[in-house]
Amino acid sequence: MEQKQKKPLGQAKQGTVLHNPSPCPLYRKCGGCQLQNLAYSQQLKWKQDAVGRLLGRFGKIEPIIGMEHPYHYRNKVQAAFALTKSRKIISGVYQSSSHRVVAVDHCLTEDEKADEIICSIRELMPGFRMVPYNEDTGYGFLRHVLVKRGFISGQIMVVMVTAGPIFPAKKRFVQALRQLHPEITTILQNINPYRTSMVLGEEERVLYGPGYIEDTLCGCIFRISARSFYQINPVQTEKLYGKAIELAGLSGRERVIDAYCGVGTIGLVASRSAGQVIGVELNGDAVRDAIANAKRNGIKNARFYQGDAGEFMRNMAQDGETADVVFMDPPRAGSDEAFLSSLLVLCPERVVYISCNPQTQCRDLQYLVKGGYRVQKIQPVDMFPHTAHIETVCLLAKAQG
């Protein structure tokens, strides 16, 4: 079951404390929570102002949707491992400005069960002669541990990211870990032999369970695998998607495109109030999950395609296809010209643009406004409390005349 949310630490009622008197002790060392010195209400104000500066030129900014209990919201946690000079194993995060591992046992933003599991793995390591991987020498075994937890389902996935394929005593290890944490529902090994800062490699082996977890979001069940994107804050994701779908103003008949669709979340939730949904996504694992998700939920009016969203849109435009509503949710870099110019050719009534980077969103909105669209609504949603990350959803409609 879902965990109990803890009361915010060291905070009085919202709006009465300007500075958070007890930020995390690793606040400076870790660097992950850039805004933690501010009380939550001040963080929201900071984000509201930042969106205003960037997107205010397009219209009024709705008040940011904050989180009621802005702690332990991350349902995906990854830890790096390292040896200290005294050869003690530590686990935690890379310092934001360097590649040194900062030891973190508890984090105010991370799921507490995930943190517990990571500590247990670290404690099991010496008994299994597991050595942390050293990025400089390329020596060692365990690179990362990734834990994903279904917020509603409570299902837990553990991914052991190793430098090589050979996992000594893996059966015994899986047994020992499950004994400590019977709540784990699947364990995988991901092999990442590359000299890279990417956490996951391409090869994956299932050590226990089905190799994926499921969770419920906006009334649909979603399959989450190790490598596909899934929003990390389930409470706020429901609010974000709810808003996006409300803005799309669907009547049950529309032809909808879900671009950059990940595992199909937005499109599948929207499919209940649309005629037809077409999803496109670059990551093959995510597309496979999206197709399985449609089936799992008995949804028959959604199709998913693997490919570059820009190319896909260009092909659609060239083939004379149409769309009534386009949802777009690109990565931080935003969309590209191929996508945006084809969008103008397809000319849907409404575009719902979800973004995790208001800078690139601003650039893309400018392009669409020049191309004949009007920004009708700008709604920030706080998906990442304590960090400086900002998420917004904007509605664009064809300008009249």
Interface positions with ligand SAH (CB under 6 A): 229-231, 260-262, 265-266, 280-283, 286, 308-309, 329, 331
Nearer to ligand SAH, 188 or 309 (CB): 309
We find the least distance from the C-beta atom of residue 228 to ligand SAH, in angstroms, to be: 7
Identify the helix (H) or strand (E) that includes residue 381: strand 373-381
The amino acid at residue 250 is L
Nearer to ligand SAH, 207 or 325 (CB): 325
User: Can you state the angle between helices 358-370 and 40-55, rounded to 10 degrees?
Assistant: 30
Phi/psi at 224 (5° precision): -120, 120
DSSP letter, residue 267: H
Report how far residue 229's alpha carbon sits from residue 312's, in angstroms, rounded to the nearest whole number.
20
We find the least distance from the C-beta atom of residue 113 to ligand SAH, in angstroms, to be: 22
Nearer to ligand SAH, 229 or 353 (CB): 229
Single out the residue of 91, 88, 151, 143 nearest to residue 115, CA to CA. Answer: 91
Catalytic residue among 30, 218, 356, 394: 356
Q: Which residue is nearest to ligand SAH (CB)?
A: 262
We find the least distance from the C-beta atom of residue 42 to ligand SAH, in angstroms, to be: 28
In sequence order, the 6+-apart residues with CB closer than 8 A to the CB of 98 are none
Please classify residue 112 by burial: count the beta carbons closer than 10 Å to its beta carbon, then call 0-12 exposed, 13-18 middle and 19+ buried.
middle
Q: Is residue 356 flagged as an active site residue?
A: yes
Nearer to ligand SAH, 82 or 218 (CB): 218
Single out the residue of 282, 292, 288, 289 nearest to residue 259, CA to CA. Answer: 282
Nearer to ligand SAH, 260 or 304 (CB): 260
Say if residues 181 and 123 touch (Cβ distance below 8 Å).
Answer: no
We find the least distance from the C-beta atom of residue 382 to ligand SAH, in angstroms, to be: 16
- Burial profile 1-34: b = 16 or more Cβ within 10 angstroms, e = fewer: eeeeeeebeebeeeeebeebeebbebbebbbbbe
Say if residues 157 and 183 touch (Cβ distance below 8 Å).
Answer: no
The amino acid at residue 144 is H
Please classify residue 90 by burial: count the beta carbons closer than 10 Å to its beta carbon, then call 0-12 exposed, 13-18 middle and 19+ buried.
middle
We find the least distance from the C-beta atom of residue 138 to ligand SAH, in angstroms, to be: 28
We find the least distance from the C-beta atom of residue 268 to ligand SAH, in angstroms, to be: 10
Nearer to ligand SAH, 46 or 305 (CB): 305
CA 98 to chain CA centroid, Å, is: 23
- Catalytic residue annotation: 356
